[in-house]
Amino acid sequence: MDPSSTGTMQRIQSEKSILDEPDSPLEISDVNDNAPVFERSSYEAYIVENNTPGLSIFTVKARDADWNQNARVSYILEDSSVNGVPVSSYVSVSADSGVIHAVRSFDYEQIKDFQFRVRAQDGGSPPLSSNVTVKILIQDQNDNPPQVLYPVQTGGSLVDEMVPRSADVGYLVTKVVAVDVDSGQNAWLSYKLQKATDRALFEVGLQNGEIRTIRQVTDKDAVKQRLAVIVEDNGQPSRSATVIVNVAVADSFPEVLSEFTDFTHDKEYNDNLTFYLVLALAVVSFLFITCLVVIISVKIYRWRQSRILYHSNLPVIPYYPPRYSDTLGTGTLPHVYNYEVCRTTDSRKSDCKFGRAGSQNVLIMDPSSTGTMQRIQSEKSILDEPDSPLEVRLY
């Protein structure tokens, strides 16, 4: 046996003996040898245009087979550009959860789709990573009404088309041309005749917008024909646009010019008449409200006056202060006398002092007097007796 192998065998046996011991602690350290793996090889997500900024679009998910810190995954949005603009101005990625948020509101008519890459990186040292491609598809919303290309609505043209009086059934007058910048069924257009001077003379093609005659033109038909065509898309809810087509039923242009000049004057007259009618209605309404307020105010004033007169007709009960008392039951005494009654043990003799007469028919009573009103009345009865010897001292 090789002498050098003796130490090796001893070492192996010692390690084997350690493993055979049931209570020996053995720890195995993890090495960051696995990169994160996404659940999908690529992602596609849809978002409707006119979204709210900050809206959550979807979530990317990656797993790491390592342990503890080596298995901790974080998500990073890789730098790129969309139409020359950094992708970070379109979307953002949560580093912990992998949730992708919209940074701005998208417009389908400006951008229909874009893509970017997300990197998943673990927490090992050195870190390992992998990436995945994400594609965002923007869905159209019916946010644009149809646009009428022909006839052009400038407001200065009096006559758009002319129809000869010899026109037969199905004569093509004109064609309304419109487009919708939306997509899919939101861009499907239909045409309807909304108003017409003579609805029995013209019709509009539902799909193509062609205006044709539906009967023979006669001399009784008016020269001025005004058609209102509504163009409607197929969105939910639908949007529409209205176009006005002025048609002249005549064989010569001078006839048309004279008729439509009168038509313009009539239009101005009707506009002025409408303004004056609205103004008159406003004035009448104001006068009516003013009269109503005045009538109500007068009614309230008269009612309050009648209440005051009613209270003034009630019997008046005079009020006298505590020091005053009427000397007669009838209240007709012309003067007031201030007096003091001095009684002796002999009830037949009294001493009474009268003051100067006042101008009121009330009796002034001395507050120091302890006699009651009954006593005063009894003394008054003594004074009224002609035979009672009563000495009166005037002062």
Dihedral angle over CA of 148, 149, 153, 154, nearest 10: 150
Closest by CA position to 45, among listed 2, 76, 91: 91
Which residues have CB under 8 Å from 47's CB, separation 6+?
Answer: 55, 57, 102, 106, 136, 137, 138, 139
- How far is Cα 174 from Cα 156, in angstroms, rounded to an integer? 18
- How far is Cα 165 from Cα 248, in angstroms, rounded to an integer? 10
Domain 147-251 has CATH 2.60.40.60: yes
Q: Can 37-139 and 147-251 be said to share one CATH topology? A: yes
Supply the DSSP string of 363-383, one letter for each residue.
EE--TT----HHHHHHHHHHH
Q: What is the pLDDT of residue 261?
A: 58
How many CA within 13 A on the CB side of residue 181?
11
How many CA within 13 A on the CB side of residue 219?
0
Q: What is the pLDDT of residue 80?
A: 95
Walk along the chain (395 residues) and give the pLDDT tens digit of each residue: 454 444 445 555 555 555 565 565 667 788 889 999 999 999 999 999 999 999 999 999 999 999 999 999 999 999 999 999 999 999 999 999 999 999 999 999 999 999 999 999 999 999 999 999 999 999 999 999 999 999 988 765 567 888 998 999 999 999 999 999 999 999 999 999 999 999 999 999 999 999 999 999 988 899 889 999 999 999 999 999 999 999 999 887 766 666 655 555 555 556 678 888 899 999 999 999 999 999 999 999 888 888 777 666 555 555 555 554 444 444 444 444 444 445 555 545 545 444 444 444 444 444 444 444 445 455 555 445 555 444 444 44
Q: What is the pLDDT of residue 154?
A: 74
| Stretch (H or E) spanning 279 | helix 253-312
36 within 8 A of 130, measured Cβ to Cβ: yes
Q: What is the pLDDT of residue 360?
A: 45
CATH number among 2.60.40.60, 1.20.1090.10, 2.60.15.10, 3.40.50.970, domain 37-139: 2.60.40.60
355 within 8 A of 338, measured Cβ to Cβ: yes
Enumerate the domain spans of the chain. Answer: 37-139, 147-251, 252-313, 324-394
**The whole model's pTM is what?**
0.55
Which residues have CB under 8 Å from 167's CB, separation 6+?
Answer: 213, 216, 217
Q: What is the pLDDT of residue 306?
A: 82
